[in-house]
Amino acid sequence: MSKRNKLIVVFVAFLVVLAAIAGGREIYRALNPAKDTKAGAVSVSVSEAAVGTVSVTAVYTGKVTAEKEVSVFPKIPGKVESVSVALGDKVAEGDVLFKLDPADVSGQANQAKIQADGAKKARDKAAKAVKDLQKAGDDANAALQAAEDAVKQASAAVPPQPAALQEAMKGVEAAKAAVAQIEQGLAQAEAGYDQADIQYQLASEGVKAASDALANLTVKSPISGTVTLLNVQTGGMAAQTVPAAVISNVSDIRVTMSVSESTLPKIKAGDAAAVKISAVSDEALPAKIETIVPSPPQGQTTYPVIIAFDGDAPGVNPGMFAEVTLTTGRAADVIIIPSDAVMIKSGKQIVAIVNADGKAGLKEVETGLDDGKNIEIRSGIAVGDKVIYEGQYYVDESSEVKIAA
């Protein structure tokens, strides 16, 4: 490389260094706009500490449900004979929803009655046998007593009559044998009656079950409301494992949601809430916490919360999704300052203020609730203190400051 070229390279490098220095100064000035080069003071924005309220809110996702919503299951399975309602129909409590075909159930009811009638006849026959044997037992005991009286008379005869006494004693033995035989027969008859009675009771239960089945062929609405689900049709089958219909009282709706255990102590029944349902409106509807379930459902770790609307909720229907805003913290009549005013220095919360002499001061504070705009101050500054919320990072203790217009 020639000497001339070397000089050019050196000159260009010098220009680059100068440009870098100039650029660095501009960057520094951009990053440190608070310096007032004329007065040597830091330009700051201030706000007076005042008494106010800080509220902290949280947003949860919920779902609109009817306060009363009942899934209807047929008590017996069967073929659907007729359906009396359609999806969306309004029904009153006790209205017929659908009927099942009675053919199979009627046959079962007839068979149960035949069995019950037979069991009753068998029980009546066993009862008569017991009664007859009880009478025979009474007669046998009376004969035994007469035989024993005959023995006493023969024993007291004067002169003694050995032949008569012997005959009387034979009569006693025969009477005892008859009593024992009847008692054995009575025990068997009573056991037979007990068995017949059990069979009759079982058969009677079968009749009752069949009668109930006949009554259950007609399925009615358990509540007044709207048919929001219908899973049956004429000619189809209705099962006991799948809801045949769902009846919802859509005139009284709620929002159900869940909160974590950390939120649970911060809310209570009666607290205000705001419910936004995007499918209906961008405006939130006023509501309140109606119920807080004190334990989570099995297998879950969150606690159900039920929200009730304060007034009408036009256009809102069960199944819609909702955003619920709850106040999870509120501090009223406390000292508040802008949240941005609080700095963290050496692990401490620090607020810069402007003293009466126009110089900055640094105060360690204890804070409370913070809503993102204002923060609660529990100690460290007083009402009326001028708190720096812009430019606070450029001041030290006793720094000269200039309050921006």
Instruction: Extract the tokens encoding 334.
Output: 């406390």
Structure tokens at 65: 């449900």
Rounded to two decimals, the pTM is: 0.53
pLDDT over threshold 80, residue 146: yes
Report the range of poorest mean pLDDT among 3-17, 109-123, 153-167, 336-350: 3-17
Q: What is the pLDDT of residues 223-237, one digit of tens each?
A: 998 898 999 999 999
Residues 29-33, mean pLDDT to the nearest whole number = 48
- 8 Å CB contact between 49 and 227: no
Half-sphere exposure of 313 (CA within 13 A, CB side): 29
Question: And the tokens for 132?
Answer: 């007859």
| DSSP secondary structure letters along 45-89 | EEEE-EEEEEEEEEEEEEEEEESSEEEE--SS-EEEEEE---TT-
Residue 112 has pLDDT above 60, yes or no: yes
